[in-house]
Structure 1
Amino acid sequence: MSLHEEDHPAHHHRLRNTRIARRARLFRARLNGYPRLRLAYKIAIGVFGIAVVIAGLILIPLPGPGWLIVFLGLAILGTEFPAAHRLNMWVQRKVRGAIAWFQERRHRRAAARAQRAAPGR
């Protein structure tokens, strides 16, 4: 069981049983047999993830996918660092909540418009 499965036992990811995911688990299992290589891998992922997050932060005021790149960097960091994974899960919950709130608001407004436009008033 991976580190993130222990943190989120109820979290079932739809990509967990793909061919790429199985190969990644095999790679990680082999990597765990070499502590120095594992440390180097963790450092490389950390540097790369931070670079992606910084690039995304730089791109936020510019037109384009700045926030998407920031979240991609957090996802990269989340593969090795539990704190980044928890932050990413928190952000996902907040985004889903905001989307649900906007959808509910849209439905309430549509229902109110339909009620005002209904004949017989």
Structure 2
Amino acid sequence: MDAVKEVATAQNIPTQRFPSHASNKVTELQPTASEHHSGNLPRTSQPATQERKARGPRPAPVKRYSVDLPLYLIAEIREKAHRRNCNKRTLILNAFKDAGFTIKDIDIQESKTDE
């Protein structure tokens, strides 16, 4: 931990909080001298031991599933997704839904992390 404190001081990294092993209290590294003077101490609205409440429905967890498809089908999926201005995942999930599989709408929504 001494090395962490030295690097934090040298790099002007703000105060870090760590759970205490002896109790449920939160221990805190001392702020650097520049943090004291600049007022750059981190502000937390909740104690570190409280968990945040969920905000609305969330997509289901995912797992990568590999399947071998003919090259012409892969090309057609890519082209159709491009024409519909959606990603390939959304196109495929909608196809599964249309085929009668249970797919929740929240799981079909596109995100910035999709292709």
TM-score (norm 2): 0.21
Q: Which has the higher strand share?
A: 2
State which structure, 1 or 2, has the greater radius of gyration over its C-alpha atoms.
2
Q: Of Structure 1 and Structure 2, which has the larger fraction of its residues in helix?
A: 1
